[in-house]
């Protein structure tokens, strides 16, 4: 039984109750929401601090028993992009500390901040509340800048400096993978003794194998199609154009499979992806496959599971991913993944898919085409994917996070 009573989670730039795939909402939102719910199920109260983005939001919201979301005003509700938020750090930190002042001293046992903006706030609040700060980067500017696509924009120097400060201030840094741990040490001079690897998880009850024919009926995909699925925010980092170009090459081969290939792209524009959906539509039209590509908005999690089951392959061509929740969710549904060999994707894909070096559409077409032509290979990968995903439950993630929180608290008590 854990001795933890309350944990504060800080997620400044995006709310855990936002729809993943829209705006700045993505895997981090899922991470915060899933871990909060499971911490609360263990009797640990969780308060999540996030920036209010509309006047319609209740100041306090209870998404599930034991979990409380506080919408903290910081700047105008609407019209601010993530790039504008460094100017609101002071206002947000003041709002968080104002809420904290309403509670007795020692109310929280630990703070866990997510992304560098939240880490800046967590740094101040940790000092004020005299509780340890645990921080997860989720993405790192130095890594993103090293793997930019040709049409993307580099992260600004202010973010690099801010990340370095958070790395120095945090009592514990939680990395998603061993590779991320090494990047924190080599690129940010993190103390190796303060970096712990805790893999993200997957909801194995929701994302599970199911009948493909039924799933296809539920998402209106023809039974005879060979479906290539992309799920994620529409931005250069995620590289959905690589899938469109690769699909065009496969369709252009004119073999027995080409007439059955369909592409589904589910996601909303984000960050530097403004106008990207229309550009993707135009690209598909220019390549002569516009009628083969489905563009859809982000969907609810239960519907997403149906899409994963309906797909023949899930394609993740990102230029970088700290982990890749889409890959592990697809794997849990028994669908093989073809992913870029970058970041945490090798860990998420494991033996349940194929990794592709680089982003040349010809290379991607060859990798995808080989699997489309070999249903036995796809079935074998699907079975391996299911087994692989079983090692990534959110319960396991929270087991390790609780250990990290307890150790951080014990270390602070020892040092004080």
pLDDT surpassing 70 at residue 286? yes
The answer to whether 128 is a known ligand-binding residue is no
- Phi and psi of 393, rounded to 5°? -75, 155
Domain boundaries 6-201+393-415, corresponding CATH code: 3.40.50.2000
Q: What is the pLDDT of residue 21?
A: 58
14 is in an annotated binding site: no
The predicted model gives 367-381 an average pLDDT of 97
19 labelled ligand-binding: yes
pTM of the model: 0.93
Q: What is the pLDDT of residues 257-275, one digit of tens each?
A: 899 999 999 998 866 556 7
From residue 264, give the alpha-carbon distance in Å to each of 120, 212, 244, 302, 400: 38, 16, 10, 17, 36
> When comparing pLDDT for 151 and 384, which is higher?
384
Residues 49/70, Cβ–Cβ less than 8 Å: yes
SS3 46: strand
Mean pLDDT for the chain overall: 93
Is 82 annotated as belonging to a binding site?
yes
- pLDDT score of 13 more than 60: yes
196 belongs to an annotated ligand binding site = no
pLDDT recorded at residue 270: 66
pLDDT of the residue at 415: 76
| Rounded-to-integer distance, Cα 260 and Cα 215, Å | 18
* Local confidence band at 83 (pLDDT 50, 70, 90 cut-offs): confident
Residue 337: closest CA among 235, 415, 229 = 229
Q: Do the Cβ atoms of 340 and 316 come closer than 8 Å?
A: yes
Task: Evaluate whether 173 touches 198 at the Cβ level (below 8 Å).
Answer: no
The answer to the question of whether 238 is labelled as a binding residue is: yes
Matching CATH topology for 6-201+393-415 and 212-389?
yes
- Residue 97, annotated as binding a ligand: no
Q: Is 140 marked as a binding-site residue?
A: no
Question: CA–CA separation, 408 vs 405, rounded Å?
Answer: 5
For residue 1, pLDDT beyond 60 = no
Confirm whether residue 54 is marked as ligand binding: no
**By the 8 A CB rule, do 52 and 18 touch?**
no
218 known member of a binding site? no
pLDDT of residue 272: 55
What residues does each domain of the chain span? 6-201+393-415, 212-389
233 assigned ligand-binding residue: yes
**pLDDT computed for residue 19 by the predictor:** 66
Look up residue 255 and give its DSSP letter: S
- At 55 the pLDDT is 83
The answer to the question of whether 13 is labelled as a binding residue is: yes
Instruction: Tell me whether residue 27 is annotated as binding.
Output: yes
Q: What is the DSSP letter of 234?
A: B
* CATH class of the region 212-389: alpha beta
Is 159 marked as a binding-site residue? Answer: yes
Please report, rounded to a whole number, the percentage of residues in the chain having pLDDT higher than 70: 96
Share of the chain above pLDDT 90, in %: 82
Instruction: For residue range 124-172, list pLDDT tens digits in order.
Output: 999 999 999 999 999 999 999 999 888 889 999 999 999 999 999 999 9
Residue 29 marked as a ligand binder? yes
Find the length of the chain: 416
Span 44-80, pLDDT tens digits:
999 999 999 888 888 999 999 999 999 999 999 888 8
């Amino acid at each position: 039984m854990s001795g933890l009573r309350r944990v504060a989670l800080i997620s400044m730039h995006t709310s855990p109750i936002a729809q993943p795939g829209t705006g700045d909402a993505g895997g981090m939102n899922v991470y915060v929401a899933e871990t909060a719910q499971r911490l609360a199920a263990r009797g640990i109260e969780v308060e999540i601090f996030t920036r209010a983005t509309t006047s319609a939001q209740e100041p306090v919201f209870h998404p599930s028993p034991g979990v409380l979301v506080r919408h903290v005003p910081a700047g105008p509700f609407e019209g601010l992009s993530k790039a504008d938020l460094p100017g609101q750090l002071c206002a947000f930190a003041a709002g968080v500390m104002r809420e904290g002042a309403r509670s007795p001293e020692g109310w929280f046992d630990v703070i866990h901040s997510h992304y560098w903006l939240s880490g800046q706030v967590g740094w101040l609040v940790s000092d004020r509340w005299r509780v340890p700060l645990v921080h997860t980067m989720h993405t790192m500017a130095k890594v993103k800048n090293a793997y930019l696509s040709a049409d993307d924009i580099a992260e600004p120097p202010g973010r690099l400096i801010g990340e370095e400060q958070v790395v120095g201030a945090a009592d514990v840094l939680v990395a998603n993978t061993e590779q991320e741990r090494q990047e924190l040490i080599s690129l940010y001079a993190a103390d190796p003794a303060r970096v712990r690897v805790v893999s993200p998880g997957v909801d194995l009850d929701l994302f599970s194998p199911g009948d493909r024919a039924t799933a296809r009926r539920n998402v209106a995909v023809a039974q005879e199609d060979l479906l290539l699925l992309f799920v994620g925010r529409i931005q250069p980092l995620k590289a959905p154009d690589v899938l469109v170009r690769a699909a065009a090459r496969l369709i252009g081969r004119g073999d027995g499979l080409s007439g059955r290939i369909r592409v589904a792209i589910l996601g909303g524009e984000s960050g530097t992806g403004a106008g990207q959906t229309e550009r993707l539509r135009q690209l598909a039209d220019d390549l002569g496959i516009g009628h083969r590509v489905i563009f859809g908005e982000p969907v609810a999690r239960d519907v997403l599971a149906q899409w994963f089951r309906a797909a023949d392959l899930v394609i993740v061509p990102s230029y970088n991913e700290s982990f890749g929740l889409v890959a592990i969710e697809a794997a849990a549904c028994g669908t093989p993944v073809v992913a870029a060999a970058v970041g945490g994707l090798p860990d998420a894909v494991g033996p349940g898919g194929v990794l592709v070096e680089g982003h040349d559409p010809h290379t991607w077409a060859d990798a995808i085409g080989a699997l489309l032509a070999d249903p036995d290979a796809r079935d074998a990968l699907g079975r391996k994917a299911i087994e692989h995903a079983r090692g990534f439950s959110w319960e396991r993630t929270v087991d390790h996070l609780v250990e990290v929180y307890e150790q951080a608290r014990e270390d602070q008590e020892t040092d004080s």
